[in-house]
Chains A and B, each alone.
Chain A
Amino acid sequence: MAIVIRRLEGHHEVENFDCADDALNNYLQRHAWTNQEKISIGVSYVAVDEGAPRTVLGYFTLAMASVPRDAFPKKYVRGLPPYDVPLILLARLAVDRRFAGRGLGHALISEALRLSLRVADEVGCRCIITDAYRDRVSWYSRYGFVPIEGAAESGPQRMFLDVRTVRAALRR
């Protein structure tokens, strides 16, 4: 099986995608294409097998955001650059359960981080943010994401990865 990661296209088959999480299945099946092509609030990339390049085995979604400087608590503003803080949101990442355990998650996050670095190099970006399910926090931590404190305990854990860390990894 030779996995390739492509930008989501209209011909990709997403109907049977099943990562055992309704919200993530639903996003890919109902919203990812519309959000990408019509209202432009996220770009999705899919993992496919080169031998069956229409069937989606996993995906992730990226978007850009920023935090206005004046949104930060005043005592922290002094230490920040005098601009809004641009960031990339890794909004979704999921692997079809039938293909779990084959390194697809690693392939997807690798590509997501490479794309993020390209965006950072081209338009500027300070960090990568993701909202991780609580049981996936340790998986993201392996890649250097650190928890952002202050999230509701019942919801996902917001996590942070410095673009400089990703850039340093590329140089190793």
Chain B
Amino acid sequence: MALKTRKKRIEAPAIGPRRKAKFQADLAPAEDRSMRLLKEELQLTSNTDFLSDALALFRWAVSERKLGHRIVSESASGERRVLLFPRLERVAPDLVLPRIEIKWTGRELESLAELVSAGEANKPTDALIRAMRD
């Protein structure tokens, strides 16, 4: 099945009620099957409802990434997976922090050098593990 709709006028008229936009999409057979299956699982009967729900979900995902938030799924056992979706990364803000200078004493630099050159880092504390999970 192809999601057959025709793109009509996108721009809303200046005056009067807004017209509904129509879309036509040519889906590959695999995508078509996938969409049918999803509609069945979600108990959606119309393509319009399907598109509307998909749009709502996508809009939410875009707004979250625009804020720089990650989208994470968590299993019952607590295993987390971060959604990496290249198109969403286009809207994520660049995370570049400004650069400043810090004053150090000689003893601080010695101490820092020891810490930085350590072969192995300290193990994370429980609070740190919780912080990265929360």
Contact = CB atoms under 8 A, between A and B. Distances in A.
Interface of A: 6-7, 36, 40-43, 62-67, 71-73, 76-77, 79-80, 85, 88-89, 91, 106-107, 109-110, 113-115, 118-119, 122-123, 126-127, 129, 142-144, 146, 148-152, 158, 160, 162-166, 168-170, 172
Contacts of B107: 149-150
A89 B132 CA distance: 18
Contacts of A88: 97
Interface stretch (B7-15, B40-48, B118-126): B118-126
A123 B67 CA distance: 19
A168 B123 contact: yes
Contacts of B97: 42-43, 62-64, 88, 119
Contacts, number: 148
A149 B102 CA distance: 15
Given A64-B98, A114-B132, A150 B110 contact: yes
Contacts of A106: 127, 130-131, 134
| Chain A interface SS verdict (over half) | mixed
* B: interface residue count bin: 35 or more
Interface string B84-103: 00000000010111111110
Contacts of A148: 108, 111-112, 115
Given A71-B104, A144-B124, A110 B132 contact: yes
Contacts of B115: 127, 146, 148, 160, 162
